[in-house]
Structure 1
Amino acid sequence: MQITKYEHACLVLEKQGQRVVIDPGFYTRPMSDLQGVQAIVITHMHDDHCYEEQLDRILNNNPTAKIYGTDEVCQRLSSYQTIAVHHGDFYTDGNFTLEFFGDIHAEIHRSIPLIQNCGVLVDSELYYPGDSFTTPDQPIKVLACPTSAPWLKISEVMDFVAAVKPRRCFATHNAHLSDVGHDLNNGRVKQVVEAHGGSFEFLKPGDTATI
């Protein structure tokens, strides 16, 4: 499986000519040229993860792609055909398996209502938690780790990585960082990953890794 990191929180996974798109939000470049998309996973309804204009671009070339999202995502996207997902759900879609974890977005501030969030594990190998620190109940080969957001502190990210103990890890959800910020936060994540015997990669938008 190939993983291509797009801007901010968006990932495109490819295997045997088929693709899964995760969280194509408004910080991500227009995605008008993707082919072979079997599924679109939207972890929660915030615009940086769920953006109708991006969905329309993807679906224009892939009209049969299924959209998986929380109940709130499905309500927002009521004019689309969607599949509501919850903690513990498991689907097979094309060449991929999708398993979902968690229920709630990390708290931004006590004055801001909490929303739903479901992390996703693809092919029992790549785990992306969305906007949460939900820890899966199984060993993780590759962790897509959020490194910048209004809802996180780097100390919490480090504790999350220490709990997951991935064999490989790369940074995502990081459009808010400057070059200095990337260096600082990536360094902290790398420290924890390597302390548990794993390796860390910094994928810039457009970079691809293979697992």
Structure 2
Amino acid sequence: MRITKHEHAALRIEAHGSTLIIDPGSFTTVLGELHALAAIVITHEHADHWTPEQLERIFAAAPDVPIFTTAAVAAAIHEHDVTVVSPGDELAAGPFSLRFFGGAHEQIHSSIPVVENVGVLVDDLLYYPGDSFAMPEGVEVDTLAIPTGGPWLHLGAAMDFTLAVQPRRAFGTHDMTLSVAGRAMHLARLKWATEQHGGEFHALDPGDSLDI
């Protein structure tokens, strides 16, 4: 499996001769080759994780690509193949296996409604929690995509999440709201947390790939 980090929360997963896109949001400018995608996974409704404009870009190249997402996102997408997923669901997306966890976005503030969010485990290898610290219960995580910055995120909570998951390897994502200095500081702390249980941390920039 090859994982390519794009800007902010967008990930491109290549395996089995096919491609899966996760969370193509408003901060993402490059998604790479978009033909013959197996599927798109959208973890929740916020614009930094998906926009109609991004989907139109993708549909122009792959008009029949299926989407797996929450009910709120599905209600906003028309005339396309959308499957609503919930925590506990296990299904196939082309050659990829997907398992979903969590259920709720981390709280941003008491004045802002909490929306539905699903974390996704791809091929029992890569776990991406979306905007949450939902544990993938019963799973030994090979590779963890760790949310690194955002209005809802406390760095200490991200460190504790990493310590609890104990991944074999990890990298940071969800980071476009951070300054260069702030991102470097957060990644250094997440590297420390990953290494406490013998894991290996990879500081990926947009466009960088990790082969697992």
Q: TM-score interval w.r.t. the shorter chain? A: over 0.9
Choose 164-173 or 174-183, whichever is displaced more: 174-183
Q: What residue is the counterpart of 2:181 in the other structure?
A: 180
- Cα 1:32–1:54 change in 2 (3 A) is farther
CA distance in 1, matches of 2:124, 2:36: 21
Q: What residue is the counterpart of 1:15 in the other structure?
A: 15
Q: CA deviation at 1:93?
A: 1.8
CA distance in 2, matches of 1:29, 1:13: 17
**Which segments of structure 1 move beyond 4 Å, counting only runs of 4 or more?**
none
**Secondary structure class of the residue paired with 1:120:** strand
Q: CA deviation at 1:36?
A: 2.2
CA distance in 1, matches of 2:60, 2:98: 23
Q: What residue is the counterpart of 1:162 in the other structure?
A: 163
Choose 15-24 or 4-13, whichever is displaced more: 15-24
- Cα 1:116–1:150 change in 2 (3 A) is same
TM-score, scaled to structure 1: 0.97
CA distance in 1, matches of 2:92, 2:162: 27
Q: Which runs of 5+ in 2 are unaligned?
A: none
Mapped contact 2:8–2:174 kept (Cα < 8 A) = yes
CA distance in 2, matches of 1:185, 1:118: 23
Q: CA deviation at 1:149?
A: 0.7
CA distance in 2, matches of 1:59, 1:13: 18
The letter for the 2-side match of 1:91 is: L
CA RMSD of aligned residues (A): 1.1
Over residues 123-172 of structure 1, what are the superposed CA-to-partner deviations in whole Å (9 max), with x where a residue is unaligned? Answer: 00000000000000111000000000100110100111111110000000
Mapped contact 1:13–1:20 kept (Cα < 8 A) = yes
**Secondary structure class of the residue paired with 1:102:** strand
CA distance in 2, matches of 1:189, 1:208: 18
**Secondary structure class of the residue paired with 2:157:** helix
The letter for the 2-side match of 1:198 is: G
CA distance in 2, matches of 1:32, 1:127: 21
Mapped contact 2:150–2:178 kept (Cα < 8 A) = no
CA distance in 1, matches of 2:64, 2:96: 15
The letter for the 1-side match of 2:136 is: P
Mapped contact 1:148–1:174 kept (Cα < 8 A) = yes
Q: CA deviation at 1:32?
A: 7.1
Q: What residue is the counterpart of 1:106 in the other structure?
A: 106
Q: Which runs of 5+ in 1 are unaligned?
A: none
**Secondary structure class of the residue paired with 1:156:** helix
Residue 147 (1) aligns with residue 148 (2): yes
Identity fraction in percent: 46
Q: What residue is the counterpart of 2:197 in the other structure?
A: 196
Mapped contact 1:38–1:64 kept (Cα < 8 A) = no
